[in-house]
Structures are given as structure tokens and as C-alpha cells.
Amino acid sequence: MPKTRFTESKRPRPDQTAVAAIPLPPTGQVDWFDTDHPGFALRLSYGGARTWVHYYRLDGKLRRRRLGLWPTMDLPGAIKAYTADRDLLEQGGDPAGEIERRKADAIAERAAARTYRQAVEEYHRRYQVGEKGNVSADAVRYDLLKAGGLRIDADGNETVVAPAWVNRRVDSITALEIGGLVGGIRDAGHKYAANLLFAHLRHFFKWCSQPDVGYVKTSPATGLTRPFAKPEARTRFYLAEEVAALWRAAGRLGIYEGAFLRVMLLTGKRKNALAAMRRDEIASDGWWRPASAKGEGKKLHMPIPLPKPARQILRDLPPFGENPFVFAGRIKGQHLDPGTPLQKKVQEASGVGDFYWHACRDTIATHMKDLRVPGNAARRFLDHAQTRDAHERSYTHDELIMVTEDAAETWGRWVKLVASRRIWAAVSAYLDAGSLPDNDTRREERRARKREFVKLIQVGGTAWTRYIRDIVRGRW
């Protein structure tokens, strides 16, 4: 490494212009040493960087420490930093080690100033909402606070229960405590909930360990594995009778809870995205356009057309004061929480003991196939990433929008049909052709009736109404 000692004409002065006038090397780097300050130099790089550095020996080894970058640090500031280093060396210290120690102390000081609850609130504000704009941000915040032992009732009253992390320093929470918490949830039979909470905690503590956050030095969740290692694939979908039971159960829930369940059956939206629906996101053309519509893997949060029954439910649903959310929650200004308590209420009211929200999506996907809804229209309606196979390659964007609207209306007619126990019983008997002997003739008749049913449910209008009325009255 070429090194040049300053002469009086070349020594950098407090005048920044003089430092800027020092020529850069044609290649590599060169150090200009100040003869008045041993080991103090200005390092110049061919790319234009000018850096103040300090060379010193410790335990017989030559070391170099970067003091600062010119012009952010001027000459007096660099000499001040150099002098502090020399004073520390005379006391037997290591300037580089002292810097690391100060950084660690700063992290500890920041962590000491943050409780678990404060860190969660900042994570929610800065990352979940500010950086990512996640529609599930409020649900994640709720789960993390609940994990820390905070319970909030409908009146906003707070209760702290074990394990009481909320008022502890965030850096005092250990891997053993995290593992014990999620393991206990798993052992209580809530395997998927345990995995979900573990994912929230792992991401939260990883954020806390980032250099620009510094609440913990390293994440206590590092090295932990999810509590339920091999979850089974959940492919549950509801039969027509179960859809009818769920529809009727909505009438036995609260006004916003019941409306949420029925709109979920009609749209299949992800539960947190639907819970966060705002009134100003529902357009006059019948489309729901979430404000946070953006692509993130397969979770697109795309606008969708609302089936006619869903539009009717939302029109009849009264606003709760100034709450901007369609499905108002118990906490003032917040939306409904679609978590485990509501899921259990639906199970008890409907008699569908294994009900869970995501199965509504599988239900729509399954029955739309039976209704001959084009695959891309079903995927678009369910917020899934689009593919173009040989049968659907010719769709333009506008055509896909139109077939998606048709798919929404077809699904809305089917749900309303099965929701009426008496009418669906008549239609089912007609489609089954039970009055005919069980032979090839009956099978052909069933196929013909199914084709007619599918054609008319997609068309809708007077033809569909007359068709159902004739079946119910036995005119076939």
C-alpha cells in the first residue's frame, strides 16, 4: 500500500476546500499521513472517497480504525476522534473494541427502554402497517399482545394474565419461554394456532434484532422449530347441507358476526382481509376494492365483484357510529376479530363441529367446478394467482373481468338456493332423478338435468326463476 507523508503544502487543513484539492490516486488507495499526529491519515480512493483513519499497534499487531468520512467529518472532528483513541490506548484500552462495547451498550439501553408491549406496538406501527401495509396487521398485533398475557374486553379494559410478558423488557424473554408457550398451545389441541403464533413471534423478534431497531441483540426464537412439524393438508369443503346449516347459524350470531359469516360464504375471502373491509372500499358498481390491493405471493388482496346477496347484506348492515369498518368489532373503532372465539361460536350454532374459515375457500373452489365456472374466473374470484392453460389462453383482461362477475353471480345464486332447505330439497330430488330406475337411463337423465341446471344458474334472470319455480311445484 503506497503511503505518502504530508508536506507543509500538502497537509490537509481545517479548510474543506484544501482537503478536496488533494489529488486522488489513479488506481487503488493511498494514505496521506499527518506528521503532527502519529498514525493519523487521510485515505484517498481512486473512486473519490476520502476517509479519516487511525493506525495503531496493539499486542504487537498493526490495526486500522475508520474514524469517519470526509466531508461529513471535517479535520477538527477527525483529530478529536483520533485524540480520544490515543487517550484510550494510553489507558490500555482498544479503540475498536470500545466502539463495539458502546454499540452493545446502546442496544441494551434501547432494549431497557422498551417493554414487550411497547415493542409490539412499534412493530405494528412501523413494520406491519408502515412498511408492509398488511391487511392482517391488527390481527397480528392482537395475537402478539395476547401471547404476552394482555386481554382487552369490549369496553377497552385491560387484564394481564400469565405469562405476563407485556410489561417486561423485551430482551428478557427467552427461547425457553417462547417454546413453552407455543408448545402448551399445541398440547391443548390447537396445533395450527400454535404454528401461527410461533410464526408471528419469530418474525417479531427477528425485527427486534435488526440493527436499525436494536431491541434485542439476537432473536430468542433463532434455532427454534415450529411446534407442529408436519401439519396435515387441510382440504375440507362443505356440502350443500352444511352450507345451509352455516347460513342459518348466522341468524343466531351477533348482527356483525352473522353478516361476516354469510359474506364469507359468498366470497371466500381470507378472514383477516374480509374482517378489515371498509365501507369506502365498496364501489357503486358492486366491486370491493381493498385499499391495500397489491401482490405478495399468492395473497393478492385483489378487487372482486360481490355477489348480489352479499351486496344486499352489506346494504342492510347499519354502520356502528363512526367506525369505518363494515364488520365492527367489540373495541371502539376496530373491526371484528375472526379468531378462535368466533370460530367456536359458529361451530356451536351450526353443528358443523370442524368448521374453520379457510374451508369456505375450498368450498367455493370445489362447487364452482361442479357449476362449470371457468378456472381462471374462479381463481380470480378467490384471489389466487392467475395461470393460462390451453383452454383459457384467449382471455383478455376485460373478458376475465366479465367472466369473474358471472362467476360471482352464479355462486351467489347457488348459495341462496341451498340456503332454503325446502327449495333445495326439491331441486336435489329433481337432479337425482330418483323416480327413475337406477340404470343407464337414469344416469343419462341425471346428466341432462345437471347440464340444464348449470346452464340456467349461470344465465340467471327470469329463466332461472321460472325453472326453480317449476321444480318446486312439480312441473317436470
Mean pLDDT of 9-20: 54
Per-residue pLDDT of 340-385, as tens digits, reads: 789 889 999 999 988 989 899 999 999 999 999 988 888 888 877 5
Q: Grade residue 426 by pLDDT with cuts at 50, 70 and 90.
A: very high
The more confident residue out of 263 and 276 is 263
Query: What is the rounded distance in angstroms from the CA atom of residue 340 to the CA atom of residue 357?
Result: 10
Q: Grade residue 11 by pLDDT with cuts at 50, 70 and 90.
A: very low
The more confident residue out of 114 and 411 is 411
Q: Grade residue 200 by pLDDT with cuts at 50, 70 and 90.
A: very high
Mean pLDDT of 279-302: 71
CA distances from 386 to 295, 297, 383, 397 (A): 12, 11, 9, 11
Lowest mean pLDDT among 164-168, 199-203, 299-303: 299-303
Cβ partners under 8 Å of residue 82, min gap 6: 37, 39, 40, 52, 54, 67
Q: Is the pLDDT of residue 233 over 70?
A: no
- The 10 Å Cβ neighbour count of residue 347 is 16
Quote the pLDDT of residue 7.
45
Quote the pLDDT of residue 376.
83
Query: What is the rounded distance in angstroms from the CA atom of residue 121 to the CA atom of residue 414?
Result: 43
Quote the pLDDT of residue 219.
93
Quote the pLDDT of residue 468.
93
Per-residue pLDDT of 292-344, as tens digits, reads: 544 444 344 678 899 999 999 999 999 988 899 999 988 788 888 888 789 88
Nearest to 278 by CA among 195, 349, 335, 348: 335
Quote the pLDDT of residue 293.
46
Quote the pLDDT of residue 14.
44
Quote the pLDDT of residue 102.
63
Per-residue pLDDT of 56-102, as tens digits, reads: 887 778 888 888 888 888 888 888 888 888 888 877 777 766 666 66
Quote the pLDDT of residue 332.
81
Task: Label the pairing between strands 29-33 and 3-5.
Answer: parallel
Q: Is the pLDDT of residue 391 over 70?
A: no
DSSP designation for 302? -
Quote the pLDDT of residue 2.
41
Query: What is the rounded distance in angstroms from the CA atom of residue 12 to the CA atom of residue 312?
Result: 77
Region at 142 (left for phi over 0; alpha for psi -120 to 50; beta for the rest): alpha
Quote the pLDDT of residue 220.
93
Quote the pLDDT of residue 1.
38
Decide if 51 contacts 41 (C-beta within 8 A).
Answer: no
What's the whole-number average pLDDT of the chain? Answer: 83
pTM for the model: 0.59
